Amino acid sequence: MTILEKREEAAEKEYVTKLEQTFRVRARRDRLLSRWAADLIGRRDVDAYFGEVMTAGLAEAGDEGVFRKIWSDLQSVGASIEQEGLRETMRKFSLDAAQQVRLADADQQRSS
């Protein structure tokens, strides 16, 4: 294998790793957000609600599908939260999720 091929392979692995990490962070964020929202709207079936949120997230690129789903559900029960409040909560859970994924990755590397 030439140096160029090795560099290309390393770049591809790094790209795939970043994509996987981004997906895991988003899924973790959506799980945290689903638990939070389920509590506010009175849903006891948190896992089923998480599935609904994930489906909404896959239906639209970016975070808008998740935002619209949760915003609609919060509005349907008259929750007193502004759109910017929901967006801020999403940002907070994104940061929390990123930290949790990094810690899980570090634990996995230590145990390998």
Q: Quick one: pLDDT at residue 17? A: 86
Q: What confidence tens digit (pLDDT) does each residue in 24-48 have?
A: 999 999 999 999 999 999 999 999 9
Q: Quick one: pLDDT at residue 38? A: 98
Instruction: Output the CA angle 63-56-23, nearest 5 degrees.
Output: 55
Q: Residue 59 domain-assigned? A: yes
Q: Residue 56 domain-assigned? A: yes
Q: Quick one: pLDDT at residue 90? A: 98
What are the φ and ψ backbone dihedral angles of 72, each rounded to 5 degrees? -60, -45
User: What is the total count of domains within the chain?
Assistant: 1
Q: Residue 88 domain-assigned? A: yes
Q: Residue 106 domain-assigned? A: no
Please list the ranges in the chain whose pLDDT falls under 70: none
Domain of residue 83: give its range. Answer: 31-98
Q: Residue 44 domain-assigned? A: yes
Find where tokens 């349907």 sit: 76
Q: Quick one: pLDDT at residue 102? A: 92
pTM confidence score: 0.85
Q: Quick one: pLDDT at residue 67? A: 98
Q: Quick one: pLDDT at residue 87? A: 98
- Interatomic CA distance for residues 9 and 16, integer angstroms: 11
Q: Residue 63 domain-assigned? A: yes
Q: Quick one: pLDDT at residue 56? A: 95
